[in-house]
A = this chain, B = another copy of it.
Amino acid sequence: MVNIRDVSKKAGVSVATVSRVLNNKDVKKETFEHVMSVMEEMKYKPNSVARSLSKKQTNTIALIFPVVSNPFFPKLASSIENEAHEKGYKVILCNTDDNPEKLRNFIDSINDGFADGVIFSSHLLDEAGLNTLKNSGIPVVSIDRNNFNNEFSSISVNNKMGGGLATEHLIEIGCKKIGHLRGPEDEITATNRYWGYRSVLKENGGMDPSLVALGYYTVEGGYQGMKELFIRHPDIDGVFAANDLTAIGAMKAAYEWNRKIPDDLSIVGFDGIDMVRYMIPSITTIQQPINEMGKLAVNELIRKIEEEDEEINNYELDVRLIQNDSTLR
Interface residues of A (CB under 8 A from B): 1, 45-50, 52-53, 58, 60, 63, 67-68, 71, 74-75, 77-78, 81-82, 85, 90-95, 97, 99, 102, 105-106, 109, 111-114, 137, 219, 248-249, 251-252, 255, 274-275, 277-280
Out of B58, B81, B111, B279, name the residue touching A279 (CB < 8 Å): B279
B residues less than 8 Å from A74 (CB atoms): 67-68, 71, 74, 77
Please state if B280 and A252 are interface contacts (CB–CB under 8 Å): yes
Please state if B58 and A68 are interface contacts (CB–CB under 8 Å): no
Please state if B95 and A93 are interface contacts (CB–CB under 8 Å): no
Distance between A47 CB and nearest chain B CB, rounded to angstroms: 4
Q: State A226–B76 Cα separation when bound (angstroms).
A: 31
Please state if B47 and A113 are interface contacts (CB–CB under 8 Å): yes
Please state if B67 and A1 are interface contacts (CB–CB under 8 Å): no
Q: State A75–B248 Cα separation when bound (angstroms).
A: 20
B residues less than 8 Å from A53 (CB atoms): 47, 49-50, 53
Out of B1, B106, B275, name the residue touching A113 (CB < 8 Å): B1
Could you list 25 A-B pairs, sorted by A, with CB under 8 Å?
Answer: A1-B137, A45-B109, A45-B113, A47-B53, A48-B109, A48-B113, A49-B49, A49-B114, A50-B53, A50-B113, A53-B53, A60-B92, A63-B93, A67-B74, A67-B77, A68-B75, A81-B95, A82-B95, A82-B99, A82-B102, A90-B114, A92-B92, A219-B278, A252-B280, A279-B279
Distance between A254 CB and nearest chain B CB, rounded to angstroms: 9
Please state if B85 and A105 are interface contacts (CB–CB under 8 Å): yes
**Chain B residue with Cβ nearest A261:** B280
B residues less than 8 Å from A114 (CB atoms): 48-49, 90
Distance between A140 CB and nearest chain B CB, rounded to angstroms: 17
Interface centre among A1, A49, A99, A109 (most CB of B within 10 A): A49
B residues less than 8 Å from A279 (CB atoms): 278-280
**Chain B residue with Cβ nearest A252:** B280
Q: State A136–B65 Cα separation when bound (angstroms).
A: 31
**Chain B residue with Cβ nearest A274:** B219
Q: State A173–B254 Cα separation when bound (angstroms).
A: 28
**Chain B residue with Cβ nearest A99:** B82
Q: State A279–B277 Cα separation when bound (angstroms).
A: 12
Distance between A12 CB and nearest chain B CB, rounded to angstroms: 25
Given A45-B111, A63-B93, A279-B280: 17 more A-B contacts, CB < 8 Å? A1-B111, A46-B112, A48-B113, A49-B58, A49-B113, A67-B74, A67-B77, A68-B78, A71-B71, A77-B95, A82-B102, A85-B94, A219-B274, A248-B278, A252-B278, A278-B279, A279-B279
